[in-house]
Structure 1
């Protein structure tokens, strides 16, 4: 975990994600997941480049099974984009940074 994409837990999810003033991309991941590790640098780059527009946080599904279950996380990596406390977009699977930026263009180019 890095300061750029901080970890969020069941205890901090509501405050950091649902009550955030700006869009939050939640990366549902696990330490044993290879594709999750593959996309981490891309997510950190997006978080750095677009820090005024979006927050990116990580939820370890092994440590926070309640959140994973609540949001129907069946396969990882899974990214949920939250705005105003609601899921407005879901991205499943590892994608290159360019594809992630394209998928998030509504928020990043707003």
Structure 2
């Protein structure tokens, strides 16, 4: 295989194909994430998400975001062609919004850590 190939993932749950996720651009990331989440006083959650980042357009494609259940079988196959259009594309975050998010996080951390700062 050529190093110029775009790689992606064909994802199936219990034998049913959910997507053929991939991005045809010079710089990108495609991820398949399985979460088993347990929180205090909330129901357990099992999730599968397939998403990515097109670094050329700064867009965030999403192919799959669904709940799983005990016994589900997930199959992920590496593919290099015939990618499907994502179900959703989140637009780029503006520099202003990114700065606002960072400042909000900074103030939150500063408050949480105030007893530990010199």
TM-score above 0.5: no
Query: Larger Rg: 1 or 2?
Result: 2
Bigger helix fraction: 1
- TM-score, normalised by the number of residues in structure 2: 0.24
Which has the higher relative contact order, 1 or 2, with Cα contacts under 8 A spaced 6 or more apart? 1
- TM-score, normalised by the number of residues in structure 1: 0.25
